[in-house]
Amino acid sequence: MSRAVEESNRAMLRARDAMDRAYAQPLDIPALARIAHVSSAHFIRTYRATFGETPHRYLQRRRVERAMYLLTQTDRDVTDICFAVGFASLGTFSRTFHRIVGESPTAYRRGRAPADVPTCFARAWTRPSSFG
């Protein structure tokens, strides 16, 4: 019995790794279920029992996390980022982003300075300007 659980865990983990690795691809449940070698219905049920959320929800969180990264680390526009992380429509992206993060992609970007530059630069260059 326990060996079966371990095999199932590894199959679910392989599918989760695929979402982490290939989040920008048009991954759907049948494709993920194939990676885990189970039927779609069984996959959704077992994944949720293993990791506490549905595979769909996990993939959305991964895509939103990557979008958060691109919003703060690059100057690509929001539409570009939406498609780059695997969303098929800007409406779905914006709704999902807001539900998970609590603010819109644009507001999120505005509220955060890009990392990886010295703090003195970030403070100087991202301070709201009262002139010009």
Partner 1 sequence: MTMNAISRSQIYVLDQDEALDFYVGKLGMEVNTDADLGFMRWLTVNLPGDPEREILLEKPGPPALDPATAEQVRELLTKGALGGYLFMTTDDARKTYEDLVGKGVEITDEPTERPYGIDFGIRDPFGNKIRIGQMFPRG
Which positions lie near partner 1, rule CB under 8 A? 2, 5-7, 9-10, 12-14, 16-17, 20-21, 50-51, 116
Output 3 or 127, the one with its CB closest to partner 1: 3
Sign for the CA dihedral angle at 28, 34, 35, 36 comes to positive
Residues 89-119 as b or e (16 or more Cβ within 10 Å = b): eeeebbebbeeebeeebeebbeeeeeeeeee
Q: Which is nearer to partner 1, 116 or 128 (CB)?
A: 116
CB of 103 to partner 1, least distance (A): 26
Q: Which is nearer to partner 1, 5 or 107 (CB)?
A: 5
